[in-house]
């Protein structure tokens, strides 16, 4: 497979003998970044004995993530591949799909159930209208507009996970409503990150557009430091930093993928009840053992009351921080244990 460009940086790490005894090979820290996966920045941090070993692992991560990116793409089809875009473009037709699509759709079904249909992978008809408006507003700010309310309500009539038939044993998928479509943006990145991390050794950190997952501690036993963005200064400041040895940190916020109409900002997390961007929270950060679950929970909690969200966190053994519209920060009982002192 053709190798893609990798930006690799190197920094000295502690001797591996701190963990495995003197005489063990020394491991160093390396970094790689890509701009071609899931339409966002992917960063890989890891410890290996030399740059060549890290480059090989980083390339494997890239290639695996690219496969997931193509499988879960809802905007583009690829030669000799049945992906989600193929399913959306051919409603009524039954497709035999890759097991990785079945696995994702099973998580989507679980998220649809535990969220009370707030995180619905079959919201594509509604989300398409918002996507088109957002793209126009970003590319041509003077022409920015909101989706028509009547059009949104008409699209909402073609949502719901019951419009998708999935047969896990036969590995088949079929859209039963010609006006319905899949949109897995709330779960796909986190799910793909989790699956790739499960194939990696300890001592790696993978970040895909803010979906961060650690495969285990660094060679010296220390955890990874993960910054939580300040919604008022995204990309510039952190509210605080979390110390995570293994597991995922995922944030859903109103500062991501937004555009402005008549001086009002509109973000991408759409509430199925109002058909407009959710307004309960500025951001929700979830810490969980599984990146796919963390991704689903962060979106769901963003659209729920704190009490509803806490019940889900307790059910799945996860922790979270909510940021209210007035900037107040609220934590689940175990969240503060991750705060870097």
Residues 282-337 have pLDDT tens digits of: 999 999 999 999 999 999 999 999 999 999 999 999 999 999 999 999 999 999 99
pLDDT at 240: 94
Q: What is the pTM assigned to this prediction?
A: 0.89
Return d(Cα 87, Cα 83) in angstroms, integer: 7
Strand (E) or helix (H) holding 259: strand 259-261
What is the rounded CA–CA span in Å between residue 305 and residue 292?
A: 21
Q: Is the pLDDT of residue 114 over 60?
A: yes
Residue 246, pLDDT score: 96
pLDDT in tens, 215-237: 999 999 999 999 999 988 877 78
- Spatial contact of 298 and 250, defined as CB atoms under 8 Å apart: yes
Please report the domains of the chain, with CATH numbers, ordered by start residue: 1-72+184-222 (no CATH), 84-175 (1.10.3980.10), 246-341 (3.10.520.10)
Work out the pLDDT band at 256, boundaries 50, 70, 90.
Answer: confident
Average pLDDT, the chain: 91
CA distance 154 to 158: 8
* For residue 161, pLDDT beyond 70: yes
Rg (CA), the chain: 21
Whether residue 67 contacts residue 60, with contact meaning beta carbons closer than 8 Å, is answered with no
CA 30 to centroid of chain Cα atoms: 23
């Amino acid at each position: 497979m053709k190798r893609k460009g990798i930006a690799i940086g190197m920094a000295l790490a502690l001797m591996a003998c701190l963990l495995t005894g003197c005489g063990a090979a020394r491991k160093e820290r390396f970094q790689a970044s890509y701009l071609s996966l899931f339409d966002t920045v992917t960063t890989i941090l890891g410890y290996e004995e030399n740059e060549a070993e890290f480059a090989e692992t980083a390339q494997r991560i890239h290639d695996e993530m690219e496969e997931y990116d193509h499988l879960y793409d809802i905007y583009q089809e690829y030669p000799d591949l049945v992906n989600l875009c193929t399913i959306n473009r051919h409603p009524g037709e039954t497709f035999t799909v890759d097991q990785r699509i079945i696995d994702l759709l099973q998580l989507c079904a679980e998220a649809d159930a535990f969220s009370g249909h707030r995180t619905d992978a079959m919201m594509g008809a509604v989300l398409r209208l918002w996507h088109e408006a957002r793209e126009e507003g970003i590319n041509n700010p003077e022409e920015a507009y909101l989706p028509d309310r009547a059009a949104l309500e008409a699209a909402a009539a073609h949502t719901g996970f019951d419009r998708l038939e999935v047969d896990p044993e036969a590995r088949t998928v079929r859209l039963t409503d010609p006006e319905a479509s899949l949109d897995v943006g709330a779960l796909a990145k986190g799910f793909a990150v989790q699956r790739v991390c499960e194939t990696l050794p300890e001592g790696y950190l993978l970040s895909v557009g803010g979906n961060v997952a650690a495969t285990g501690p660094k060679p010296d036993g220390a955890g990874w430091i993960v910054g939580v963005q300040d919604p008022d200064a995204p990309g510039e400041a952190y509210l605080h930093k979390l110390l995570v040895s293994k597991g995922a940190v995922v944030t859903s916020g109103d500062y991501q993928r937004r555009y402005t109409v008549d001086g009002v900002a509109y973000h991408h997390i759409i509430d199925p009840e109002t058909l407009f961007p959710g307004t309960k929270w500025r951001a929700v950060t979830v810490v969980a053992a599984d990146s796919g679950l963390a991704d689903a929970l962060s979106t769901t909690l963003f659209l729920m009351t704190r009490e509803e969200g806490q019940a889900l966190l307790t059910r799945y053994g996860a922790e979270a921080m909510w940021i209210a519209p007035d900037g107040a920060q609220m934590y689940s009982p175990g969240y503060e244990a991750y705060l870097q002192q």
